Amino acid sequence: MLAELSAQGVGLTHVTLHVGAGTFLPVKVDDVSNHRMHAEWGEVTEQAAAEINATRAAGGRIIPVGTTACRLIESAADGDGIAPWRGETDIFIRPGYSFHVTDGLITNFHLPKSTLLMLVSALMGRERMLSLYRHAIDARYRFFSYGDASLLLPER
């Protein structure tokens, strides 16, 4: 998929996030504000930050591939876009979060009660995600890490 996008002129930039097992743990608290995210180490290089900022400045959209990449670039966001960044992030993106860099997301279909489902719901809205997931279930899409991919673009 990425090779096809690149062949069509879509720019690609690479960032690094070392995914921890905690990414896949279900939320076990009734009040999500009490949930504590695991920390994961990541890096946005100076080159990656410059490419992301140049894309935004040219009117392009920033669409991370994967919730982990999304969490990383949102952690590296500053008031003027994105800055080079290295360290641990424990950012918990859930409904109510205001995205600073992310304009869309390529990701798979996530399991219920997961922080990953909360992240995509923050981007797209809960009702829209429920509708998309109903369609995915009816169409027998595959869920979880090695399942089918989706391109999520919130309404502007």
Q: In the beta sheet, which residues pair with residue 113?
A: none
Q: In the beta sheet, which residues pair with residue 77?
A: 82
Lowest-pLDDT choice from 62-76, 89-103, 112-126: 112-126
Is 105:85 a contact under the CB 8 Å cutoff? no
133 has a pLDDT exceeding 80:
yes
Average pLDDT score over residue span 104-131: 89
Report the C-alpha gap between 47 and 98 in whole angstroms. Answer: 25
Q: What are 61-93's pLDDT values in tens digits?
A: 999 999 999 999 999 998 889 999 999 999 999
Radius of gyration over alpha carbons of the chain, in Å?
A: 15
Q: What are 14-57's pLDDT values in tens digits?
A: 999 887 766 666 777 777 777 777 888 999 999 999 999 999 99
Report the C-alpha gap between 124 and 155 in whole angstroms. Answer: 8
Domains of the chain and any CATH numbers:
8-28+35-152 (3.40.1780.10)
120 has a pLDDT exceeding 90:
yes
Report the C-alpha gap between 155 and 28 in whole angstroms. Answer: 31
Q: In the beta sheet, which residues pair with residue 152?
A: 105
